[in-house]
Amino acid sequence: MSLLEVRDLRVSFPTADGVVRAVRGVSFSVDAGRTIGIVGESGSGKTVLTQTLLGLTPGGEVSGSAVFDGTDLIGLPEEQLRRIRGAQIAVIFQDPLTSLHPLYRVGWQIAEMVRAHDKSVSKAAAAERAVELLARVGIPQPRQRARDYPHQFSGGMRQRAMIAMALSLEPKMIIADEPTTALDATVQAQILDLLLRLQQDSGTALIMITHDLGVVADIADDVMVMYAGRAAEMAAKRDIFYQPHHPYTKGLLESIPNSSAGAGRLRPITGQPPSLINVPPGCAFHPRCAYVMDKCLTDEPGLIPVAQDAYHRSACWLPVTAAGLSEQAEEARRRTVGEGRHEAAAKIAEAIAESPEAEGSVIA
């Protein structure tokens, strides 16, 4: 029984220019202790999807169901939803500078979270817990740092503080919305490593939203690729990288700059993501697809299993055998996945794990 089971979730927003259909029927599930990576470009609906789960998208028309631990979050009265927020499901946002309140001390903000659902916790106890949490995420001199304001922290430390805040009530699930996008590469790897470690320690389920496949490669168990408000492909991590089926997924893989090989040009996906007010008929990706067929223009494909293991599904009319990729593309894809980001991130994680003093230090 999955911890979170989302069925046919749809979210639209009425605007002056028309109805924006941000999420057009997404289903997925997350098991306790597992990590699912949700990958997509801006506008793919990945953020709206997760924020809708917690009722953080005002003004949206929502349908479908999202059963978390036995309760359907969609349509849940505000008061009950509020009790789930933070305590059962916590969120880590993308930009910790704007996501932390600029006028309150960091320790205070974390302590507030601790007391949010249980007023019987004393202020002193909450403050103490805040310091503990800051230490747990690897911030040095946590007691002094708790008295600082967010603008006095460096980018990496701020994100660690946000992570500390998310962990404070030991939620069953954490939604991490592009937590590393605003950080530089070295810090990014540290944060991901931290998240992984903490998740493994506490058995929390993790939904990791990102546009960066490298991040997914490090941290996810399962992957859902989103495009134009729907799932394009869903699979276990390995399958996404080694047996991608959907042309969009393949396109994403091919457009990753390859750090080791250095040869060949980047192959970005031509065209632009579609407007979510006027979604193209049939398959939303068809205007940009290299393999488009007549059927793609009229019939929108659902998620179709592409392998023996029914978990790997792709919303594409192409037959299961992913024939047709040019040799060049195949090569490029293999190289990227086999040697690129994945490897670099692994190297840093290794280095940190090896030096005991480095543990918990902040190289921002």
Partner 1 sequence: MAFLTFLIRRLLLGIIVMWFVTVATFLLFFVAPQDPARLLAGKNPTPQTIAAINARLGLNQPLIVQYGHYVDRLVHGNLGTSFVNGSSVNTILKQDLPPTLSLLVGGVILWLIVGLGAGILSATRVRTLVDRTSTVGVLIGITFPTFVLGLLLQFAIFLPLNRSGFHWVQTGYEGPTTSIIGWAGHMILPWITIAAVSAATYTRLTRGSLLDTMGEDYIRTARSKGLTERRVLYRHAIRAALTPVVSQLGVDMGTLAGGAVVTEQVFGLGGIGQQSLTSITTGDTPVVLGIVLMAALFVVVANIVVDVLYSVLDPRVKLS
Partner 2 sequence: MSLTQIEFQAEGTGDAPAQAIQGRSPWMLAWRRLRQDKVAIASGALILVLALLAILAPVISSLVGHSPDTPYTNTGLNSQGLPVGPSGTFLFGTDGLGRDLFVRVLYGAQISLLVGFVSTLIGTAAGVVMGMTAGYFGGVIDTVLARFIDSVLAFPYVVLALALAVVFGPSLSVTIGVISFFSWAAIARVVRGQTLSIKEKEYVEAARSIGSGPWRIMFIDILPNLIAPVLVLATLAVPTAIVFEATLSYLGVGIQPPTSSWGNLLSQAQTFYQTSWWYLVFPAGFLLLTTLAFNLLGDGVRDAMDPRTERLFASQRKGRRSAAKRARPTPPATEVS
Contact 269, 289 (CB under 8 A): no
CA 56 to chain centre: 16
Contact 266, 288 (CB under 8 A): no
Helix locations, the chain, DSSP H: 46-53, 78-84, 96-99, 106-116, 123-136, 142-145, 155-167, 185-202, 213-219, 237-242, 247-254, 294-298, 327-339, 341-354
What residues from 284 to 343 belong to the interface with partner 2 (CB under 8 A)? 286-294, 297, 300, 318-319, 323-324, 326, 329
What residues from 122 to 151 belong to the interface with partner 2 (CB under 8 A)? none
Among 1, 70, 78, 103, binds partner 2 (CB under 8 A): 78
Angstrom CA distances, 310 to 2, 37, 159, 303, 306, stand at 16, 18, 37, 11, 7
Contact 248, 272 (CB under 8 A): no
Cα Rg, the chain, nearest whole Å? 21
Q: How far is the CB of 59 from partner 2 (least distance, A)?
A: 4
Range 67-77 burial, b when 16+ CB lie within 10 A, else e: bbbeeebbebe
The span of 31-39, 77-85, 192-200, 329-337 binding partner 1 (CB under 8 A) equals 77-85
Residue type, 125: A
Query: How buried is residue 200: exposed, middle or buried, by Cβ count under 10 Å (0-12/13-18/19+)?
Result: exposed
Size of the site for partner 2 (CB under 8 A): 47
10 Å Cβ neighbour count for 362?
16
Among 13, 76, 117, 338, binds partner 1 (CB under 8 A): 117
Among 37, 274, 301, 340, binds partner 2 (CB under 8 A): 274
Nearer to partner 2, 294 or 350 (CB): 294
Among 149, 280, 287, 362, binds partner 1 (CB under 8 A): 149
* Cα 132 to Cα 126: distance, rounded to the nearest angstrom: 10
What residues from 96 to 115 belong to the interface with partner 1 (CB under 8 A)? 98-103, 112-113
- Is 85 near partner 1 (CB under 8 A)? yes
The span of 30-38, 75-83, 180-188, 343-351 binding partner 1 (CB under 8 A) equals 75-83
Q: How far is the CB of 160 from partner 1 (least distance, A)?
A: 15
Binding mask 19-58 for partner 1 (x = CB under 8 A): -----------------------------------x-x--
Q: How far is the CB of 308 from partner 1 (least distance, A)?
A: 40
Q: Which residues bind partner 1 (CB under 8 A)?
A: 54, 56, 78, 82-87, 90-91, 93, 95, 98-103, 112-113, 116-117, 149, 151, 162, 165
